[in-house]
Structure 1
Amino acid sequence: MSSNTLSAVLEKLIHRLCLNDFPCGYGTWRKTKGSTEGAETEETDALLDLLSCPHSPWRQDGSWSPQTAALRQLAVLTPERLHTDFIYSYFTTLHILDKGVSVVDDGLLKFSKLEELVLSANKISEIPAENLPSTLKILELRDNWLSALNSLTSCPPPRLQYLGLSSNSLGSHDVVCHLTGTHWPQLVCLDLSDCEFQNQQALLDALSTLPCLRTLVLEGNPFTLAPSYPGLTVDSLPRLSYLDASRISPEERCSFSSLSKITDLIEDRASATVSVGRVRGIPDPSMSLDENAPDFPVITYGYFITYEFLSHQTVDLCCSQKVSESKCDAAHVTEDIFSDADLQSNKNLSKHRTSKLTWAECMDFSDTQTYIVSDLGGLKRFFNQGLYLTLEEEKVLSWPAASEDRKGGKEKESPIKSGSTKDKDKKKKSVPDLVQDAPIRRTLGSVHVPLQGLVKRGHKVDVLCDLGTLHTESELEATQSLEKDLGKKIKEDKKKEDKESKQRGGSGTKQKNTAAFKGRGKGNKESETDVHTDNSVSVQLEPLTVELSVELEKWQSAAEANQLTLPHKSKQPDLS
């Protein structure tokens, strides 16, 4: 018998119960009526205590079946009853989780009274229905390797009321026809979460034939990202009581009434709106400017946010986008459709950049972009991976148009500074034309934003992104300069000490010099600390934060669906 078969795993688990060994079963350890009392015998109550005592070495893990504890007690009280057929028929529930089972063989039929079978997190790719006991009422196959249901529906257990198929690759059209009332006449609860179903309408047509279905779990499937979910499901399955662990209220059912009749307006697409709000925590760049600096260059700072989003088509809803921004600085819109495999290589990610804002203690970008995505499977994978948001600073140096000698960092003295005071006043009034250098950009911070909440039981994610604490530009330059000077000084001191050591010679002198150098090194460290204390600028305590929200469009009623889909049908191109 192969070790990866279900019956082989069950045999091992039953053997570990030690039903015929101490303290169970027959043996010299049992005190009977005709036996002579001795130190080697135990009372029945003492034997039972050994089965359940937390620190007993004979206590067994019975999590794979709630019947194990009672069966071991029977092995102490009435061991004569525990023949093979009795043991198999005693089990009504089996939970075999993550045991490497890949084959459900006919050995399972020995469990003639089995009602609940849980085989989650195994390697099962096929379930032969003829190997399942006819008494089965609950079958859980979560997180296996199933891709088809042909063998399971050939002669399914007639009394099955619960079927769990979540986290299996069952999204093909061929699977849908095996989820009908013809195969499952008694099915009350069905779990199809994370099964990669994309065609919502086809699946609902099949599920509507299940006469006893009352509880349904569909979360995690790509089509649940569409605006029509869950409304279309609620209206298509009038007998349903619970959807994705939530009770369907009468008001909800009424609001979605007749939604299933406008299927010609329903598309397998998603609409996601990304909003960037207020940013706080950026140090004032003017604090790093020297008051005695020359009038030119004129330094300006701008701030913007970038992120990448999966997109087939983008609708710009940002009222604050500046027309003066160049096209490359505005939203990057992608209207090509890419394959699912391209997600890993980021070929179908559209990079969006907000408008630039000048510094303020609180900068409100009010940037909103809506992305229309028809690749629902790709969108689900994107949400599971999350979004990366980056805040950047753009520094621009501007010079008078007449200035030509700015090579090598030597700027020509501004004409504003020469001449009399009257000339100065005249020239200040007439501001010269400025020529801008290429912008200098630096990243102030980047953060990963998890979006898994949009895949399951949520249509909106609000995040206050924390990008850490920033320092001013002068702080960074001072720190870098300080580190460079200290490093140079330490190298010079070491070189000097090595030279003196060679000239003096002698081990004793060398030791003294070494000690002296160590003392100097200590002094250098103290000096370094002092410099840091004296020259450092006060640290910006407020963390850098960015407000971000991602919201999926969800219809709240059939009337809203009519209002939203008709304009979309008439105005938006078909990208699929």
Structure 2
Amino acid sequence: MTQATVFAAFTDQLKALCLKEFPCGVGSWNKSRFEWRKGRLLSITGSKEKDIEAEEESPESLLELLRSSYSPWALEENWSAEAQMLRELAVTSPQLTRSSFIFRYIRSLRLVNKGVVEIDGNLLWFKNLEELVLSTNKISRVNSVNLPWTLKVLELCGNEITTLEELCVDPLPNLQHLGLAYNRLHYSSETQYFAPHVWPSLISLDLSFNNFTDLVGLVLRLSDLLQLRSLVLLGNPLALFAGYRGFIIDALPQLCALDDIRISPDEKYQYKGMAKLKDIVMNKANAVVNIRKICGLQNLSHSKENENASEFPIVTINYYLTYRFITNEPSDKVDDPVQLDEILLTSTPSIKDEISVQYPSRPSEGSSEQKPYSVPLDPLLQQTCFHSALYKTPEKSQEEVNQINYQMEHELLDVLALKSFLLRGTTVTFVEKKTLSWPVEPPVEIEVKSEPSKKGKKEKAKDAKKDTKTDDKKKKKKKKSLIEFRPDPPILRNLGSVHVSLEVLMSDPHLEIMCNFGVLYIPPVERPSTPKIKENKVKDKKSKTKRKGSAKSDKSLSSIKGKQKSKEIVDQKEVEDQPTVDNVPLTAVFQVHLLQWMTVTDALN
């Protein structure tokens, strides 16, 4: 299988324009062809213009077919305005639509998601090319020798580029925008290629969603690009540091926008001096997890179990939530984490081979909507190992669980491992812990020996009669208080698990999601018996009494009928008075917030 090149993809796209077919090109339908070949056709065929006017269309009508949005020959939205102008030119002046003219005419070339693997040397035929967009292809190597020197915009988002060495062999002196988002750049040695002699005219640089971790080294190189005004580093592990934005704004004062957000004068003032704290700023990332607003647990009822329950065992039921999060080292903060893993099945899911990403830059100009593209995950993230632990909220009873407001701050040192964890996501689980306590058999009774008193027999007999009533009560209390209880191993029940995607935190420091664990319990509603059945029963009893022929039975039948009616009224009232329970699902709010220092004092504190 031959590799797809840029020129091969361009020829396929050029064929789709149909420059030589109706309504474009030279044909019997195009009247404009006689403006330049009129004399030659008349000399060969000897025909006159009026003989073929019935088969011709005017240029105005052909252009209307190209421009109308209701026409079947209208271009799709992903085509540029330059392609539309080329088609119109194929109607008015079809003699110009030759390959040599097209190579000089095209200034913007867009080949998005065309399976391009290689940038070949045929691209040098485009003498006036200023913009080249090759996003979401399979390009792994870019040699600047095959790129025209006239380029001002080079967009290579969503490819498999791992190094910039070949791109800087023959630098492009006029390049103003370089887009390398969603590639596989991660080595710290790649920062050496951002030198002023390589990119003297670079104004905009997009390195988002790569795997750069050395923020200090990268910013040190970018400070030499005096023309740089816009920088996008969102999605890199270095963007997870708490002092990321303030450090860049203070270290690169020539910037006007960072991560597509304009830098205001107030930000420059509040971050003044942050660049001097590089040892403090670039040492850790802080993530705060918050779990609150638990609803729907009131539907879970154990009333039937407690109604028929005996005095023993004593049942204690508590609830809590668990979630898994990355740690710097293996930790045993959670009680019996192995047992919880076996029962709750909250182990980290397998990493995804592909992720759906949303381009922050312009993936498809000419269309208002940005479409997500499926981009292969960097093998570096697949090989990144990290430790994770299972965290849990405090155990609460059914009455108190709604008041849980759990908050935990995690300090993380390895930001590359943190990015790998965020792409995997976590699992939030709602757990019911049920403990049965049994009395130890036989019950232990402690006998307290009293000191011998010096009273006489009569006085002792009087005291014994007075205390006969109180002694029985004290003995019962002592027996109850002296019973020892032995708790069984807790019974853990998974009430529901929700997988939470944390990929949003790569572009937004705030994440809030409502975890829906489903409806837990729906109490059955007892329906009253229909009056027809009761009337039939009354008729049967009535027939029996008639056979006996006793007057007393008639009186008893009327009394029974009255009692049944009264019971029916009472049952209907009980059903009406019974509270209706909606099918409210069990939910909890799960929040993750990446801390970002807003001032220099935040970093010092």
- If the TM-score is normalised by the length of the shorter chain, which range does it land in? 0.7 to 0.9
Find the partner of 2:604 among 544, 562, 568: 562
* C-alpha distance in structure 2 between counterparts of 1:298 and 1:183, whole Å: 77
Alpha-carbon contact 1:2-1:8 (below 8 Å) kept: no
Query: SS in structure 2 opposite 1:548?
Result: strand
Are the structure 2 counterparts of residues 92 and 346 from structure 1 closer, same or farther at C-alpha, using a change threshold of 3 Å? Answer: closer
Find the partner of 2:490 among 423, 439, 459: 439
Q: Does 1:35 align with 2:30?
A: no
Code of the aligned partner of 2:289: V
- Residue-by-residue CA offset, 1:498-554 (whole Å, 9 max, x unaligned): xxxxxxxxxxxxxxxxxxxxxxxxxxxxxxxxxxx9xx9975633212232212221
Q: CA deviation at 1:260?
A: 0.8
Query: SS in structure 1 opposite 2:405?
Result: strand
TM-score where L is the length of structure 1: 0.75
Q: CA deviation at 1:425?
A: 7.6
Query: SS in structure 1 opposite 2:417?
Result: helix
Alpha-carbon contact 2:386-2:417 (below 8 Å) kept: no
Identity of aligned residues (%): 36
The residue number in structure 1 matching 2:324 is 308
Query: SS in structure 2 opposite 1:80?
Result: helix
Query: SS in structure 1 opposite 2:9?
Result: helix
* C-alpha distance in structure 2 between counterparts of 1:179 and 1:326, whole Å: 50
Q: CA deviation at 1:450?
A: 2.4
Q: CA deviation at 1:315?
A: 11
The residue number in structure 2 matching 1:153 is 168
Alpha-carbon contact 1:273-1:371 (below 8 Å) kept: yes
Q: Does 1:216 align with 2:265?
A: no
Q: CA deviation at 1:348?
A: 1.6
* C-alpha distance in structure 1 between counterparts of 2:390 and 2:223, whole Å: 42
TM-score where L is the length of structure 2: 0.72
Are the structure 2 counterparts of residues 343 and 553 from structure 1 closer, same or farther at C-alpha, using a change threshold of 3 Å? Answer: farther
Q: CA deviation at 1:560?
A: 1.6
- Residue-by-residue CA offset, 1:92-116 (whole Å, 9 max, x unaligned): 1111001111111121111111111
Q: CA deviation at 1:183?
A: 0.8
* C-alpha distance in structure 2 between counterparts of 1:558 and 1:327, whole Å: 41
Alpha-carbon contact 1:23-1:47 (below 8 Å) kept: yes
* C-alpha distance in structure 1 between counterparts of 2:515 and 2:181, whole Å: 33
Are the structure 2 counterparts of residues 540 and 426 from structure 1 closer, same or farther at C-alpha, using a change threshold of 3 Å? Answer: farther
Q: Does 1:392 align with 2:431?
A: yes
Are the structure 2 counterparts of residues 25 and 62 from structure 1 closer, same or farther at C-alpha, using a change threshold of 3 Å? Answer: farther
Alpha-carbon contact 2:384-2:420 (below 8 Å) kept: no
Q: Does 1:254 align with 2:288?
A: no
Q: CA deviation at 1:366?
A: 3.2
Find the partner of 2:502 among 429, 438, 451: 451
Are the structure 2 counterparts of residues 8 and 172 from structure 1 closer, same or farther at C-alpha, using a change threshold of 3 Å? Answer: same
- Residue-by-residue CA offset, 1:167-196 (whole Å, 9 max, x unaligned): 111111221111122211111110000111
The residue number in structure 1 matching 2:512 is 462
Query: SS in structure 2 opposite 1:277?
Result: strand
Alpha-carbon contact 2:384-2:417 (below 8 Å) kept: no
Q: CA deviation at 1:240?
A: 0.4
Query: SS in structure 1 opposite 2:49?
Result: coil
Q: CA deviation at 1:459?
A: 2.0
* C-alpha distance in structure 2 between counterparts of 1:174 and 1:7, whole Å: 32
* C-alpha distance in structure 1 between counterparts of 2:518 and 2:308, whole Å: 32
* C-alpha distance in structure 2 between counterparts of 1:467 and 1:299, whole Å: 24
Are the structure 2 counterparts of residues 331 and 290 from structure 1 closer, same or farther at C-alpha, using a change threshold of 3 Å? Answer: closer
* C-alpha distance in structure 1 between counterparts of 2:251 and 2:326, whole Å: 30
- Residue-by-residue CA offset, 1:340-392 (whole Å, 9 max, x unaligned): 98988997221112221122165333332222222212211222222211111
Superposed CA RMSD: 3.4
The residue number in structure 2 matching 1:369 is 408
The residue number in structure 1 matching 2:352 is none
Q: CA deviation at 1:83?
A: 3.0
* C-alpha distance in structure 1 between counterparts of 2:427 and 2:323, whole Å: 6
Superposition pairs of residues 265-284 of structure 1, within 5 angstroms: 265-283=280-298
Superposition pairs of residues 206-245 of structure 1, within 5 angstroms: 206-245=221-260
Find the partner of 1:294 among 287, 297, 310: 310
Query: SS in structure 1 opposite 2:292?
Result: strand
Q: Does 1:427 align with 2:495?
A: no
The residue number in structure 2 matching 1:485 is none
- Residue-by-residue CA offset, 1:433-454 (whole Å, 9 max, x unaligned): 2111121111111112222221
Are the structure 2 counterparts of residues 403 and 263 from structure 1 closer, same or farther at C-alpha, using a change threshold of 3 Å? Answer: same
Superposition pairs of residues 128-143 of structure 1, within 5 angstroms: 128-143=143-158
* C-alpha distance in structure 2 between counterparts of 1:159 and 1:459, whole Å: 36
Query: SS in structure 2 opposite 1:547?
Result: strand
Code of the aligned partner of 1:196: N
* C-alpha distance in structure 2 between counterparts of 1:265 and 1:76, whole Å: 66
- How many residue pairs match? The answer is 474
Q: CA deviation at 1:87?
A: 1.3
Are the structure 2 counterparts of residues 278 and 77 from structure 1 closer, same or farther at C-alpha, using a change threshold of 3 Å? Answer: closer
- In structure 2, list runs of 5 or more residues that go unmatched: 36-47, 342-378, 444-468, 527-574
Alpha-carbon contact 1:223-1:229 (below 8 Å) kept: yes
- Residue-by-residue CA offset, 1:235-285 (whole Å, 9 max, x unaligned): 110000100111111111111111111223233421212222342221354
- Residue-by-residue CA offset, 1:73-101 (whole Å, 9 max, x unaligned): 11111122333221111111111001111
User: Which protein is bigger by CA-based radius of gyration?
Assistant: 2
* C-alpha distance in structure 1 between counterparts of 2:242 and 2:583, whole Å: 42
Q: CA deviation at 1:217?
A: 0.5
Query: SS in structure 2 opposite 1:262?
Result: helix
The residue number in structure 1 matching 2:440 is 401
Alpha-carbon contact 2:327-2:386 (below 8 Å) kept: no
* C-alpha distance in structure 2 between counterparts of 1:154 and 1:460, whole Å: 41
Code of the aligned partner of 1:549: Q
Are the structure 2 counterparts of residues 247 and 60 from structure 1 closer, same or farther at C-alpha, using a change threshold of 3 Å? Answer: closer
* C-alpha distance in structure 2 between counterparts of 1:400 and 1:561, whole Å: 56
Are the structure 2 counterparts of residues 201 and 275 from structure 1 closer, same or farther at C-alpha, using a change threshold of 3 Å? Answer: same
* C-alpha distance in structure 1 between counterparts of 2:49 and 2:473, whole Å: 122
Q: CA deviation at 1:424?
A: 7.2
Query: SS in structure 2 opposite 1:72?
Result: helix
Are the structure 2 counterparts of residues 341 and 96 from structure 1 closer, same or farther at C-alpha, using a change threshold of 3 Å? Answer: closer
Q: CA deviation at 1:67?
A: 1.1
* C-alpha distance in structure 2 between counterparts of 1:464 and 1:29, whole Å: 62
Code of the aligned partner of 2:514: L
Q: Does 1:7 align with 2:46?
A: no
- In structure 1, list runs of 5 or more residues that go unmatched: 333-339, 405-419, 479-532, 564-576
